[in-house]
Structure 1
Amino acid sequence: MSSARSIPRSEKSLQRVDTTIAVAETAEEAENRREKERKARIKEQKAPLGRVWNEMRSEWGMVAFGALLSGGAGVIFPFFAKFFGQVMIVLTQTPPRENFISDSNTNALMFVVIGIASLITNGGAIVIFEYVGEVMARRMRTLSFQAILSQEMGFFDKEENNTGALTSRLATDAYQMHELISQIMKLAFQTIATVGLGLGFAFAMSWRLTLVILALIPFLAASQYFAIAALTGFSNKTKKAYEQSGRVANEAISNIRTVVTLAKESTFEEKYYKVTQEPHSFALRRAYIGSLGYALSQGIMFWTYAIGFYAGQRFVEAGMLTYPDLIQTLFYVVFMSMGLGQIASQLPRYIKGKESAINVYELLDKHTTIDAFKDGITPERVEGHLGLENVQFHYPTRPDHKIFNGVDVAAKPGQTVALVGPSGCGKSTIIALLERWYDVLDGKATIDKYDVRDLQLSYIREAMALVGQEPVLFDISIGDNIRYGIPDGQHVDQEMVVAAAKVSNIHDFITSLPQGYDTRVGDKGSQLSGGQKQRIAIARALIRNPKILLLDEATSALDSESEKLVQEALDRARAGRTTIVIAHRLRTIQDADLILVVKDGAIIESGRHYELISKGGLYSELCKKQNLEVTH
């Protein structure tokens, strides 16, 4: 990278970037505070190992076999120490013993046997625990995803439950629980076997020297911990430090057309340069600390050897220990301590696994206030009566901002009710309450005179269809997008898809495409125009043959030609259905059976088009601004 591109280009632009970064840092401080509070709360909780173990009950047989293999892998170290000590004695004994060759061959053969045993036990244990861990991770990821989808809309309105945070939790929490099983559990069984057999061999050989070296075990374990944890900590901390720069890069790249259009390339280059300075410095500090930790770990290991040899030599001089026993005892304890060090080095993984398990079970245990699959009333048929009765409401994330204070709305079956008014007055909130995305604080939202809170929600929603201002299409074919409108378990064929497309004025366009209904629409429908996406969304709504149709400014973002086609489709779609229409372009709702004028969370006018015109109120003023006819 050239110098011109890696440093700020002017004092003025640098000040602009500093201001941007200062705002970002303020938001980051709030996020860090919430993260610290969450970690402090998690730290006080115990790891839900019992629940994790219970989740694995279908794999208990495999876990038992894996534990047996891990135990076998654990005894490799003590037996290796035993034969390594013996071969050292054979090779260093002067003069060489008479059976030098046969003893050397025997010990060499035992190393081959140990290698084969290590291959079988370690390899088998890794395969089994990795498999069990992967099964567990997939199961928990699936359960977490189901729990997320079952939450009420207020859950997703919270900042900590944004899309990035939830997808990150799906990706990382289940995987870290996988490591809790595949790594920690395997190593725990292995360490128990290593410590048990190693201590037994060591005490049988020389209990005095064993006690001396055991006093140094904390230092030996710490040496292994520093050797591994310092380096893994370096990697994890560096990755976390660069998350901010990743966000800046993602923002710039995902919005590259806007960045280029505004000629803000240099601004984002400077911003990226600034946000990488701190993590870069932090990474260097971690490198220094990691190097020191690794060097210290190596030093402690050799210092322990020195103390062990010194104490052993004194015991040999005192006639309390033979030199061969000294060598073997030392190897038994040292290799045992290395096993303890390995389990100590997994402490960061254990902590992460514990946090992830707590996060997952908090999500699974969270009681959703609006459960679409909770048992409730399921009327034999949906007539189409809709209403709000003396509704009080504010959004969960904005308790100080009341939206409704005693609002009443009523729609009869087959009636078209239009909602008009300035932006932010509460029109879309009415649809949200009828869909039961949120619960009212007081009063009730009703469908066919039933309180929506008493109804079996998934059944009711199957009788409703919503077309929004910016419809979301999935990156699949046009035909499959339309088929998504059919409730699960119901039959759908190509004739139904074509019929819905014809009603929504999109069939001719689809058949003109080379692949017809099999044409992929691209990410969020990026391969289609706004009007085309809107008409496909209408077809998706109509294929379910809903009794209740909800239209939230379905034509406001379209050009005049697209609006005409979409409006024709909507006019046909409204026939025989109870329809709630939100519109800014008043000419599209002049023939509505009832027009409700909403302002500041209240219904201030109601009636048909010319009735409201004659009143000379807000609706009349809105019509004048849009050059609509204001005289009968």
Structure 2
Amino acid sequence: MAKQEKAGIKPFISLILSTNIPKWALVFGLIGSIITMLIGLSIPLLTRELVDGFSMDAISTTLIIIIFVVFILQAVVDGVSTYILAAIGQRIVARLREMMWFKLIRLPVSYFDKHASGESVSRVVNDTGIVKDLISQHFPQFITGFITIIGAIVILLIMDWKMTLFMLIAVPVTLVIMMPLGARMAKISKGMQDETAKFTGEIQQTLSEARLMKASTAEHVEEKKGKSGISKLYQFGLREARIFALIGPFMYTIMMLVIVLIIGYGGIRVAEGTMSTGSLVAFLLYLFQIIYPITSFAMFFTELQKAKGATERIISILKISEEASQHGIEEDISNKPVYVDNVCFAYDKEEIVLENVSFLAQPGEMIAFAGPSGGGKTTLFGLIERYYEPISGEVRVGETPIQALSMQSWRSQIGYVSQESAMMAGTIRDNLTYGLNNSDEISDERLWKVAEMAYADQFIKSFSEGLDTEVGERGVKLSGGQRQRINIARAFLRDPKILMLDEATASLDSQSEHAVQEALSRLMVGRTTFVIAHRLSTIVDADKIIFIEKGKLTGMGTHQELIETHELYRKFAEQQLS
């Protein structure tokens, strides 16, 4: 993870500016706010004229009509400007979520090895939601409130500077109390967001593995974990509530105290004849115009503290380096050999997973990897697929290092069929065409053809919806063999130059394994194929078998050659093939 930006106002502003704020809309929104403020500031002055000249015989119809029109005009302009500013807030947050999502899907696999998917989801949804609330709700109120306060104070200073200064004594008192509360809120908010992300990750993992939980009768375990997470969120919520419980009554008490003092002092002035009744009423109306924005300021600054904490996490993700070589050479790798040259790799610097692994795969060859579990076979596949980068050595196709190719060019020419039979929620059609740019143009005839090649057409036809059958989350509505054959059909549709099979039949029953193996045999024809297999019966015909133990290549040759030269391989063969 990139070093976290210190939570502060500058990173927050920089992040917002990076979303390309629609400047003209912002200008119009602010102009509308200023017009609203000017209209609103005229109301107490008009009220003063109405009160000072008030009698049943001398009611000014014109003045009443003007006040009524002013109220309507203020409401309309205020509604339009508030909507524009709120729309800008929504636009900023939508762009922020785009930036987060586009970044996440381009991060290397190593990021997802270290971070729960639920945590990342929380960053995209919850943290940006906090920023959204600030920008779309509290920020427009802050802008209009700030303008209103400035205008009201200017008019009040002109009307009666002594009473205005008397009123403003409350400001430093308020700041002394509010600033430490704001700092405390920032700390609580940071803890709340971290705990929310952790809790989201845990419940998402539990629900995605509901079958494992049920099969293991682990409901009580998950109940305890969930209760613990909920309790921690509850404690953070209480701490946050205590802050708000201090802020609200404090602000109310200060404002009411100011109102009482102003009424008392103003009443004395009216009695002395140094202030008119209308001026006192106007002064109180201006005071009320000031009170609401000030109370909303308290909410704005507490939300700002929360948003700064969310910003810290958002920026930390946006600063992570994306996968290398998003832009690179576009090259057809047909009929080119693959060289793995002295490759070393470690997830952590202390633990070497692969050490000086070298081999050559000629075009059209089947290269199989065998060896004890944990030896590094799947890691080697990850390096070829470019999920990870080697710490030394390189992988080349022809004379070109694969790092020089664009990810799109390299991965689009590789067909990958894994043991997990990975599928997305959606239809069979969606899964067959997943990731293809021209998916809408692929005909049903073509899809049925690749399904037939993968021996998947018969079971698909048995569904009433055919290709439009919903498969459920991770394909749970299909059997393992059915999911695997759809994966193979997907590979057929892409017509890959290199095929990678990671224990593709390991978790299947014998009948499904036979059907899948037949489909794989068809798929392998004419393609350079890399195979990981625990069952040696599936790789005895490989052109080359590479035996890997504890990250080192300890044997290489045909099945017969390894039987004669490699003791551990011979033991594997005797156990499985006898």
* 1:63 correspondence with 2:16: no
CA distance in 2, matches of 1:428, 1:314: 87
Q: Which residue is equivalent to 2:36?
A: 73
* 1:119 correspondence with 2:71: no
**CA separation of 1:129 and 1:228: change in aligned 2, threshold 3 A:** farther
Residue 523 of structure 1 deviates from its aligned partner by: 1.3
Greater Cα shift, 177-186 or 494-503 = 177-186
Question: What TM-score do you get using the length of structure 1 for normalisation?
Answer: 0.81
Q: Which residue is equivalent to 1:534?
A: 484
Q: Which residue is equivalent to 2:549?
A: 599
CA distance in 1, matches of 2:90, 2:479: 42
CA distance in 1, matches of 2:411, 2:239: 56
In the alignment, which of 508, 512, 517 is matched to residue 558 of structure 1? 508
Contact 1:226–1:293 under 8 Å retained in 2? no
**CA separation of 1:188 and 1:299: change in aligned 2, threshold 3 A:** closer
CA distance in 1, matches of 2:258, 2:251: 11
* 1:46 correspondence with 2:4: no
Q: Which residue is equivalent to 1:575?
A: 525
Q: Which residue is equivalent to 2:160?
A: 206
Greater Cα shift, 165-174 or 441-450 = 165-174
**CA separation of 1:480 and 1:362: change in aligned 2, threshold 3 A:** same
Q: Which residue is equivalent to 2:59?
A: 102
Q: Which residue is equivalent to 1:25?
A: none
Greater Cα shift, 307-316 or 133-142 = 307-316
The unaligned stretches of length 5 or more in structure 1 are: 1-33, 91-96
Greater Cα shift, 44-53 or 544-553 = 44-53
Residue 231 of structure 1 deviates from its aligned partner by: 12
Q: Which residue is equivalent to 1:418?
A: 368
Contact 2:325–2:403 under 8 Å retained in 1? no
**CA separation of 1:616 and 1:173: change in aligned 2, threshold 3 A:** closer
**CA separation of 1:173 and 1:286: change in aligned 2, threshold 3 A:** closer
Q: Which residue is equivalent to 1:515?
A: 465
Contact 1:389–1:407 under 8 Å retained in 2? yes
**CA separation of 1:172 and 1:74: change in aligned 2, threshold 3 A:** farther
**CA separation of 1:434 and 1:520: change in aligned 2, threshold 3 A:** same
Alignment of 1:344-493 (within 5 A): 344-357=298-311, 359-372=313-326, 374-376=327-329, 378-395=330-347, 398-484=348-434, 486=436, 492-493=442-443
Contact 1:78–1:336 under 8 Å retained in 2? no
Deviations 1:220-245 (A, max 9, x none): 68999999999999999999878877
Deviations 1:76-114 (A, max 9, x none): 543344345556667xxxxxx5456505x6665455334
**CA separation of 1:321 and 1:230: change in aligned 2, threshold 3 A:** farther
CA distance in 2, matches of 1:558, 1:402: 32
SS at match of 1:543: helix
CA distance in 2, matches of 1:51, 1:283: 27
Contact 1:71–1:189 under 8 Å retained in 2? no
Q: Which residue is equivalent to 1:15?
A: none
Contact 2:134–2:300 under 8 Å retained in 1? no
Q: Which residue is equivalent to 2:296?
A: 342
Q: Which residue is equivalent to 1:4?
A: none
Greater Cα shift, 489-498 or 279-288 = 279-288
Whichever residue aligns with residue 56 of structure 1, its letter is N
CA distance in 2, matches of 1:282, 1:82: 47
Whichever residue aligns with residue 80 of structure 2, its letter is G
Residue 324 of structure 1 deviates from its aligned partner by: 4.2
Greater Cα shift, 351-360 or 450-459 = 351-360
Residue 587 of structure 1 deviates from its aligned partner by: 0.4
Residue 272 of structure 1 deviates from its aligned partner by: 5.2
Whichever residue aligns with residue 24 of structure 2, its letter is G
Greater Cα shift, 518-527 or 592-601 = 518-527
Whichever residue aligns with residue 75 of structure 2, its letter is L
Residue 495 of structure 1 deviates from its aligned partner by: 2.8
Alignment of 1:285-304 (within 5 A): 290-291=244-245, 293-304=247-258
Contact 1:223–1:297 under 8 Å retained in 2? no
Whichever residue aligns with residue 152 of structure 1, its letter is P
CA distance in 1, matches of 2:23, 2:212: 55
Q: Which residue is equivalent to 2:106?
A: 150
SS at match of 2:256: helix
Question: What TM-score do you get using the length of structure 2 for normalisation?
Answer: 0.88
Residue 606 of structure 1 deviates from its aligned partner by: 1.1
CA distance in 1, matches of 2:211, 2:202: 15
Contact 2:186–2:306 under 8 Å retained in 1? no
Contact 1:384–1:414 under 8 Å retained in 2? no
Q: Which residue is equivalent to 1:82?
A: 45
**CA separation of 1:417 and 1:479: change in aligned 2, threshold 3 A:** same
Residue 594 of structure 1 deviates from its aligned partner by: 0.5
**CA separation of 1:529 and 1:453: change in aligned 2, threshold 3 A:** same
Whichever residue aligns with residue 413 of structure 1, its letter is P
Q: Which residue is equivalent to 1:138?
A: 94
**CA separation of 1:554 and 1:132: change in aligned 2, threshold 3 A:** same
Residue 519 of structure 1 deviates from its aligned partner by: 1.5
CA distance in 2, matches of 1:250, 1:148: 17
Contact 1:234–1:287 under 8 Å retained in 2? no
Contact 2:106–2:323 under 8 Å retained in 1? no
Greater Cα shift, 283-292 or 303-312 = 283-292
Identity %, equivalent residues: 27
Deviations 1:348-369 (A, max 9, x none): 3333444545554554454325
CA distance in 2, matches of 1:164, 1:245: 8
Residue 268 of structure 1 deviates from its aligned partner by: 4.8
Contact 1:67–1:125 under 8 Å retained in 2? yes
Deviations 1:504-555 (A, max 9, x none): 1111221222222221211111110000100100110111111100000000
Deviations 1:279-302 (A, max 9, x none): 556656765664454333322222
Q: Which residue is equivalent to 1:29?
A: none
CA distance in 1, matches of 2:18, 2:368: 54
CA distance in 1, matches of 2:179, 2:80: 25
**CA separation of 1:211 and 1:136: change in aligned 2, threshold 3 A:** same
Residue 200 of structure 1 deviates from its aligned partner by: 2.4
The unaligned stretches of length 5 or more in structure 2 are: none
In the alignment, which of 182, 200, 220 is matched to residue 136 of structure 2? 182
Whichever residue aligns with residue 151 of structure 1, its letter is L
Q: Which residue is equivalent to 2:453?
A: 503
Contact 1:478–1:517 under 8 Å retained in 2? yes
Whichever residue aligns with residue 204 of structure 1, its letter is I
**CA separation of 1:437 and 1:408: change in aligned 2, threshold 3 A:** same
CA distance in 1, matches of 2:107, 2:8: 26
Residue 320 of structure 1 deviates from its aligned partner by: 5.2
Contact 2:44–2:285 under 8 Å retained in 1? yes
Count of residues in Structure 1 that have an aligned counterpart in Structure 2: 578
* 1:549 correspondence with 2:499: yes
**CA separation of 1:455 and 1:123: change in aligned 2, threshold 3 A:** same
Residue 611 of structure 1 deviates from its aligned partner by: 1.4
CA distance in 2, matches of 1:548, 1:238: 47
SS at match of 1:47: helix
Whichever residue aligns with residue 41 of structure 2, its letter is P
